[in-house]
Amino acid sequence: MNEKFSSNRKSGQKLIILGFASIAFLFLIYSRYQNPELLTPDAIDSIQRIAYGFYIILLACLGAIAYGLYIFHRQKVEQKDKDLFAIIALTTWDKKSKKVFFVTFVIYGVFFSLVSGTLVYQPEVNFVTHYGAEIPSGFVAPCCDDPGYMPKIIVYITEHVGLQIIPINLVLQITVSYLVGLNTAIAVNAFSLSKKGRGISTIGAATGLFIACPTCAGSFLSIFVGTASGIALTIALVQLQTLFIAISIPILLITPFLMAKKLRNADGSCKINPKV
């Protein structure tokens, strides 16, 4: 039985690592087609087909990562280990946590779409007049921009609402939304336990909820750290620059483990014991 659990865990980890490695490799390979000089009339059709293949492979990689996370999560719950990964898994496995995670994932995903420019709303611009677009319509733009920013999917939904799907935005949106949902689900459970007086710090639980919204933290910091810092963080979020990635994702990765320590009993077991 232990060998089966170990095999499942390793297969989940392999899928996660393979998925992210494949995405990085995919971005690297496609960047080779971003030289405008290569965009000759004879090459346009070929690059267009490569762009379609890019998104097919990208979606397959994201699916592999999602399935790998599910396998790893379920294995940790069933085996009931006493490490921090198991505490996180057990804390977020019940129906309430799954509902909190899903709602947070969707809401934050929509919010991230607006901030990152994936979901575009421009009431002052008429897409038909300014860009000659047909409503509704969409296309894949295969060239040319920095690595990770091509190929783009442009969709015109109405005269003022559209989608601009950029590969790196899509990956970051899903990754950050997942981490925000995970942090929120853990923090909600920690907060509930703090009310019951089971050794969980209310301040720690509230901090987890606060960290779960890095953009909210940016607004809060602008009050105490200074307007310039708040603006810098906002710009980093909008433009998806290195600062946002460097600050938000590591914090969202570390916080679940910090909260998990508070949710672990003295013998290493989890204070929450969901039904499997």
Which pLDDT belongs to residue 235? 39
- Alpha-carbon gap, residue 237 to 228, rounded angstroms: 14
Which pLDDT belongs to residue 243? 52
- Alpha-carbon gap, residue 171 to 175, rounded angstroms: 6
| Residue 36 · residue 144 · CB < 8 Å | yes
Q: Strand, helix or coil at 132? A: coil
Burial class (CB in 10 A: 0-12, 13-18, 19+), 226: exposed
Sheet bearing 119-121, strands edge to edge: 119-121, 161-165, 152-156, 137-141
Which pLDDT belongs to residue 91? 85
Which pLDDT belongs to residue 52? 92
* Regions of the chain with pLDDT less than 70: 1-9, 38-39, 193-247, 266-276
pTM given for the model: 0.78
Which pLDDT belongs to residue 44? 80
Which pLDDT belongs to residue 273? 64
Which pLDDT belongs to residue 148? 82
| pLDDT tens digits along 212-242 | 455 444 434 333 333 333 334 433 444 444 4
Q: Which amino acid is at 133?
A: A
